[in-house]
Amino acid sequence: MCGIVGYIGNKQALPILVQGLRDLEYRGYDSAGISILEDGKLQRVRAVGKIDNLVSKLKDQNYPGTLGISHTRWATHGGVTEENAHPHFALDGKIAIVHNGIIENYRELKKKLEKKVKFISQTDSEVLAHLIGSHYKGSLADAVRQALAEVRGTYGLLAVHTDHPDQIIAARLGSPLVIGVAEGEYFIASDVTPMLAYTKQVTFLDDGEVAEISRENVRISNLKDELITKGITQIDWDQAKAQKGGYEHFMLKEIMEQPTVFEDAIRGRINMEEGTAVLGGLNISEDQMRELKRIMIISGGTAYYAGLVGKYAFERLAQIPCEVDFSSEFRYRDPICDKKTLVYAVSQSGETADTIMAVREAKRKGAHVRGIINVVGSTIAREIGAGSYIHAGPEMAVASTKAYTNMVALLLLNAIQLGRLKHVTQATGKRMLESLLQIPAKMNEILKQADEIKAIAKKYAQYKNFFFLGRGVNYPVALEGSLKLKEISYIHSEGYAGGEMKHGPLALVSEEFPVVAILTRNQLYEKMKSNIQEARARGARTLIIATEGDIEAAEVADDIIFVPKTMELLEPLLNTIPLQLFAYYIAVELGRDVDRPRNLAKSVTVE
Ligand code: F6R
């Protein structure tokens, strides 16, 4: 949510910034704006709504300037208006800033500043602009440092000044900024996507750092102006990976990518001979792992459902009690965790504010913390400094799909590794790993049925309510299937454990309330079948996910999708995929904005 793109170099900034904003669209936004330094004057154009609206406003402008900043805003303080969109000006348009994050003490600061300046917007960001203006005495970097010293809250910030045509100031606290390095030019953005076309060499700004970026170099310091030396990281994502690759939507592309990125997730992490997983980047010795008394998984949304799958694996394989908690709850509930607890923070973006805070809480209590993260160099990844990247590549659709499967893959590998240090035999470990290696081919079997699933989805698109049911390891699959449907189609749906229906929800079931159920051949097959029968007896139409060749499942199905057989603990890796496709095709049928559903953002950087 909210995206920043800045450019300083020898090329025309405008097209780079506009394309950069488009590359960040997946983060979610509701207005956009741009400011270019042009003949000693800052030009500014802002528009509410899609970037296309900004582009049409820019139609008659062709600012040739080679320095500029831009922003996509996801409203937090003040409504969705042009005045509230960034960039914000100070000192009568001499200073322009773009800002992500929240200035918590903006009211007090505004009160002080109001005596001297007139505020045009309702935003906390404009307060920051004027605060910088109030400190300006010839050095923009000093003014930024002094202003930030007064600020309580979070920021990813770019600032420019008409008297400094060769400089962009960037600063970060809690909201990511990356600097892309090329010959005589620098790109600054909320993540690497906008710079991939130009460079793969980047420097990640860390919290508390201020960068003074000119066309020749970058000087990084802290708020006290003490110099900081930083390295350059080589990014291996290519631009094609960050684009739609011929699919109608990012979401469909990302669903289809699952077999490939799953291979990326497990590659090099399997020791078949020992029947165990090889996971680098650990912050805990094998002895400490053997002594663990508790595992906790903290995350939100889809990552939380991946975590729930992890719980089954950790308890069954490692026989360590495992709790899964929403990060937003964990951080406030005084969780019981100590040095015998291993906490997994699971996050696609690595920037989810709740999970960042939960990680800090877990660390404070002395727990071992490991990340299961997609975005390389993201805040959580760097704060933890231990764990595994899931290697799902850039996930552009707001609704998470391939990141989910790869999170489950990494949790399973971690569970196998812990299990092997306890009672899991080499043979069992080996069997699980062999099954994992077969998963990509089995995923492909499901993906080949996309057209059939599309036809089924059409039949269900007009219903207003859905139940998703599963038991055991497929209970989280039901929850995830339900979330996918509601977030992209806006249809009401509820995920339930099959056995819970009779304790209340069954009252809702009718012909108007279809049931999607996961009925694969595992130890709970008969129990699940009974639960489906209970719903059918009350008139519900049923869509069943069943194991290939299971004719018996058809007895309780109005519609059926078959998935290949795998080991029970691995079933979520397959069973989730038809539900992703089902949700996708319903949303398409209803004409929804699949990749950018209303009210949602990709990276949830506010509490
Ligand atoms: C749903 C979805 C969200 C995220 C959640 C956590 O499709 O994408 O529920 O899973 O916001 O985000 P990350 O994984 O970035 O921490």
What are the tens digits of pLDDT across the range 227-238?
999 999 888 766
* Tally of CB atoms within 10 A around 117: 18
The gap from C-alpha 181 to its chain's centroid, in whole angstroms, comes to 25
Distances (CA, A) of 239 to 22, 201, 508: 13, 14, 47
Residue of minimum CA distance from atom 16 in ligand 1: 347
Joined together, the tokens standing for residue 171 give 């600063």
For residues 21 and 45, give the distance between their C-alpha atoms in angstroms, rounded to a whole number: 14
Determine whether the shortest distance from the Cβ of 604 to ligand 1 is under 6 A. yes
3-state secondary structure at position 511: coil
The gap from C-alpha 467 to its chain's centroid, in whole angstroms, comes to 26
Q: What is the pLDDT of residue 2?
A: 81
Ligand 1 centroid–CA 254 distance in Å is: 15
Determine whether the shortest distance from the Cβ of 487 to ligand 1 is under 6 A. yes
Probe ligand 1: pick from 1, 251, 302, max atoms within 8 Å of CB? 302
Q: Quick one: 489 and 468 in the same domain?
A: yes
For residues 460 and 166, give the distance between their C-alpha atoms in angstroms, rounded to a whole number: 58
Q: What is the pLDDT of residue 347?
A: 98
Q: Quick one: 480 and 536 in the same domain?
A: yes
Q: Quick one: 145 and 197 in the same domain?
A: yes
Residue of minimum CA distance from atom 11 in ligand 1: 301
Q: Quick one: 170 and 267 in the same domain?
A: no
Determine whether the shortest distance from the Cβ of 257 to ligand 1 is under 6 A. no
Residue found by looking up tokens 């939100």 in the block: 300
Q: What is the pLDDT of residue 322?
A: 98
3-state secondary structure at position 503: helix
For residues 61 and 375, give the distance between their C-alpha atoms in angstroms, rounded to a whole number: 36
Q: Give the burial class of 260: count Cβ atoms within 10 A of its Cβ; 0-12 exposed, 13-18 middle, 19 or more buried.
A: middle
Q: What are phi and psi of 304, to 5 degrees?
A: -65, -40
Determine whether the shortest distance from the Cβ of 349 to ligand 1 is under 6 A. yes
Residues of the chain with pLDDT under 70: 1, 28, 237-246
Ligand 1 centroid–CA 534 distance in Å is: 33
Ligand 1 centroid–CA 145 distance in Å is: 33
Q: Which amino acid appears at position 59 of this protein?
A: K
Per DSSP, the residues of 545-574 read: EEETT-GGGGGG-SEEEEE----GGGHHHH
* Tally of CB atoms within 10 A around 506: 17
Q: What is the pLDDT of residue 517?
A: 98
Boundary-marking domain end, from 437, 465, 489: 437
For residues 195 and 186, give the distance between their C-alpha atoms in angstroms, rounded to a whole number: 9
**The domain that contains 517 carries what CATH number?**
3.40.50.10490
pTM beyond cutoff 0.85? no
Residue of minimum CA distance from atom 10 in ligand 1: 302
85 in Cβ contact with 47 (< 8 Å): yes
3-state secondary structure 344-386: EEEECCCCCHHHHHHHHHHHHCCCEEEEEECCCCCHHHHHHCC
Under the phi-then-psi rule, with left for phi > 0, alpha for psi from -120 to 50, and beta for the rest, what region is 268?
left
Probe ligand 1: pick from 348, 354, 357, 606, max atoms within 8 Å of CB? 348
Q: Which residues are catalytic?
A: 2, 602
Determine whether the shortest distance from the Cβ of 276 to ligand 1 is under 6 A. no
What are the tens digits of pLDDT across the range 482-508?
999 999 999 999 999 999 999 999 999
For residues 398 and 1, give the distance between their C-alpha atoms in angstroms, rounded to a whole number: 10
25 in Cβ contact with 56 (< 8 Å): no
Reported in sequence order, the residue ranges of 365-501 that DSSP labels E, i.e. its strands, are 368-373, 387-389, 465-470, 492-497
Q: Quick one: 253 and 238 in the same domain?
A: no
**The domain that contains 199 carries what CATH number?**
3.60.20.10
Its domain, for residue 110, covers 3-242
For residues 440 and 241, give the distance between their C-alpha atoms in angstroms, rounded to a whole number: 19
Q: What is the pLDDT of residue 434?
A: 98
Determine whether the shortest distance from the Cβ of 400 to ligand 1 is under 6 A. yes
Q: Quick one: 537 and 422 in the same domain?
A: no
573 in Cβ contact with 408 (< 8 Å): yes
For residues 344 and 357, give the distance between their C-alpha atoms in angstroms, rounded to a whole number: 13
Q: Quick one: 408 and 479 in the same domain?
A: no
Ligand 1 centroid–CA 556 distance in Å is: 33
Ligand 1 centroid–CA 215 distance in Å is: 37
Ligand 1 centroid–CA 415 distance in Å is: 22
Probe ligand 1: pick from 254, 308, 352, 402, max atoms within 8 Å of CB? 352
552 in Cβ contact with 455 (< 8 Å): no
Ligand 1 centroid–CA 353 distance in Å is: 11
Q: Quick one: 576 and 551 in the same domain?
A: yes
Q: What is the pLDDT of residue 30?
A: 84
Residue of minimum CA distance from atom 5 in ligand 1: 301
Q: What is the pLDDT of residue 314?
A: 97
Q: What is the pLDDT of residue 580?
A: 98
Q: What is the pLDDT of residue 421?
A: 94
* Tally of CB atoms within 10 A around 323: 18
Joined together, the tokens standing for residue 425 give 């035999």
What are the tens digits of pLDDT across the range 140-163?
999 999 999 999 888 999 999 999
Q: Quick one: 410 and 432 in the same domain?
A: yes
For residues 501 and 125, give the distance between their C-alpha atoms in angstroms, rounded to a whole number: 48
Longest Cα–Cα distance in the chain: 79
Total residues belonging to the chain: 607
Q: Quick one: 355 and 368 in the same domain?
A: yes
- Report the domain count for the chain: 3
Q: What is the dihedral of CA 394, 378, 8, 596, to 10 degrees?
A: 40
Boundary-marking domain end, from 437, 466, 485: 437
Atom of ligand 1 nearest to the CA of 300: 6
Give the contacts of 94 (CB within 8 A, at least 6 positions apart). Answer: 42, 133, 161, 162, 163
For residues 256 and 161, give the distance between their C-alpha atoms in angstroms, rounded to a whole number: 46
Q: Give the burial class of 13: count Cβ atoms within 10 A of its Cβ; 0-12 exposed, 13-18 middle, 19 or more buried.
A: buried
Q: Quick one: 197 and 341 in the same domain?
A: no
Boundary-marking domain end, from 189, 222, 242: 242
**DSSP secondary structure letter of residue 268:** T
Q: What are phi and psi of 59, to 5 degrees?
A: -50, -45
Nearest to 398 by CA among 329, 516, 301: 301
Angle between helices 301-313 and 475-489 (to 10 degrees): 170
Q: Quick one: 543 and 604 in the same domain?
A: yes
Probe ligand 1: pick from 584, 604, 606, 607, max atoms within 8 Å of CB? 604
Q: What is the pLDDT of residue 158?
A: 98
For residues 96 and 160, give the distance between their C-alpha atoms in angstroms, rounded to a whole number: 5
